[in-house]
């Protein structure tokens, strides 16, 4: 079964968008995670999913719609986007979300006016990422 980590906080500091999760992982589990450079969409929960992996499985990092405006700005400003994981022994582990800009561009082209994602997802995504000029 795939594990899901939900982003609960996001902030821009030092030319980086930092995404924080509620879950704390063991230092060993955190160090085993690495970026895949791939993304999915969770229309049911209005989330963009960045896929992480370890030696045995995929781990889904869910970026809910309440963090999309910061994500959009970070991508527009070409900031580095990092996941920050607080481990169970209070270490901070960072993972750069590689290839997120290219994956996001693909999703942006694919989601716009695509009913397969559901009306609510398309509308919310368009509102944040495809504003009318």
pLDDT tens digits along 39-62: 999 999 999 999 999 999 999 999
Q: Is residue 80 part of a domain?
A: yes
Q: Using an 8 Å Cβ cutoff, are 61 and 49 in contact? A: yes
Please provide residue 64's backbone torsions phi and psi, each rounded to the nearest 5 degrees: -70, 165
Q: Is residue 97 part of a domain?
A: yes
Whole-model pTM? 0.93
CA dist., res. 98 & res. 37, Å (int): 5
Q: Is residue 133 part of a domain?
A: no
Counting the structural domains of the chain, the total is: 1
Q: What confidence tier does 132 reach under pLDDT thresholds 50, 70, 90?
A: low
Q: For residue 68, what are the domain limits?
A: 3-128
Q: Is residue 44 part of a domain?
A: yes
């Amino acid at each position: 079964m795939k594990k899901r980590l939900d982003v609960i906080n996001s902030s821009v500091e030092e030319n980086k968008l930092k995404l924080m999760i509620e879950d704390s992982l063991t230092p060993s589990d955190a160090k085993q995670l690495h970026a895949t450079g791939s993304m999915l969409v969770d229309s049911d929960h209005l989330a963009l999913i960045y896929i992480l992996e370890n030696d045995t499985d995929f781990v889904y990092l869910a970026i809910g719609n309440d963090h999309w405006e910061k994500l959009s700005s970070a991508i527009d400003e070409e900031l580095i986007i990092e996941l920050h994981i607080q481990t169970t022994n209070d270490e901070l582990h960072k993972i750069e979300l590689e290839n997120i800009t290219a994956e996001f561009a693909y999703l942006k082209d694919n989601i716009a006016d695509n009913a397969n994602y559901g009306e609510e997802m398309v509308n919310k995504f368009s509102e944040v990422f495809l504003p009318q000029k």
